[in-house]
Amino acid sequence: KRVVFIGDMQRITWAGSDMAERFKDLTSVQVAHVGPAQRENTWVSEFRLRDGIAAPDVPAVFVATIKHQGPQRRDNVDVTLTVGDHVLPSKRVDLLPDQSLQLMFEYDFRAAGTSAEPLFVPARLELSPDRLPDDDFRVAIAPVAAQVPVLFVDQYGEDERPQLNRYGETFPLRRLLAPQTSRDDQTRRLIDVRHRTMLQVTQDELKDVRLVVIAGVTAPSTDFVHLLREYLEQGGQVLTGACAGFDP
């Protein structure tokens, strides 16, 4: 009597406690390991739109991480990005054993939806196929909107006076998210800045904003807290800066 197991040693399990009893009468038990001594694979481990949302005429950046495992390097691997029906020129890379390589692709969207109803565009990143083709690609869905409204709430709102060096506490973040190099700069930006004081915030204005930034305010009114709570409960995001006259 002979029993031969063919497979991976790590996957052999006993079906029950009586298996040892059944095997004790066997004259020979052999295990034949037929898996490769060295496993080799290349795959897309991560693929995403860097900013989470894209805008028309503003370069969107896709970030991909390619990994290669095995004893030998793999050369001339084509990495191709397809956005909608548009195939971008491939990038050819050489991969070392156990290497993780990050790549970036830029793409200009021409069409867009609104902040409330973005246009969703599929993007697919694909590698030259290897022995395991199922992990040689990944798909991401890119939401595209003309502009994303962000509400900034501070002590001055639109009444801040740059000529008097009087800026609201949200100014540093506004400058980072929507930089303006000059007064005549009309460059399209992803962020639509809405600048208000706490008393100016209304329910209608919160309907389509993707983020509320609060900084430099004193104790908020009951009405403002109620509006903000509803906004959060419906999936809104709030960033609070505890600075200046902020009352926790």
166-182 per-position pLDDT tens digit: 888 899 888 888 776 55
Which pLDDT belongs to residue 1?
A: 47
Residue type, 173: L
For 67, residues 6+ apart whose C-beta sits below 8 A from its C-beta are 42, 43, 45, 99, 100, 101
Which pLDDT belongs to residue 216?
A: 83
Confidence of residue 164 (pLDDT cuts 50, 70, 90): confident
Q: Give SS3 for 226.
A: helix
Which two three-digit tokens encode residue 156? Answer: 């001055």
Length of the chain: 248
Which pLDDT belongs to residue 9?
A: 46
| pLDDT at position 60 over 80 | yes
Which two three-digit tokens encode residue 234? Answer: 């419906």
Which two three-digit tokens encode residue 169? Answer: 């506490």
Average pLDDT on 102-128 reads: 92
pTM of the model: 0.61
| pLDDT at position 201 over 70 | yes
- Long-range contact pairs involving 130-136 (C-beta distance under 8 Å, separation at least 24): 130/40, 130/41, 130/42, 130/74, 131/40, 131/41, 132/41, 132/43, 135/41, 135/43, 135/44, 136/42, 136/43, 136/44
| pLDDT at position 20 over 80 | no
Q: Give SS3 for 171.
A: helix
Confidence of residue 2 (pLDDT cuts 50, 70, 90): low
Residue bearing the bigger pLDDT, 22 or 231: 231
Span 212-225, pLDDT tens digits: 999 888 777 888 89
Percent of the chain at pLDDT > 90 equals 44
| pLDDT at position 29 over 60 | yes
Phi, psi torsion values for 109, nearest 5 degrees: -80, 140
| pLDDT at position 143 over 90 | yes
| pLDDT at position 230 over 90 | yes
Which pLDDT belongs to residue 220?
A: 77
The helix (H) or strand (E) run that includes residue 203 is helix 203-206
Mean pLDDT, the chain, whole residue set: 84
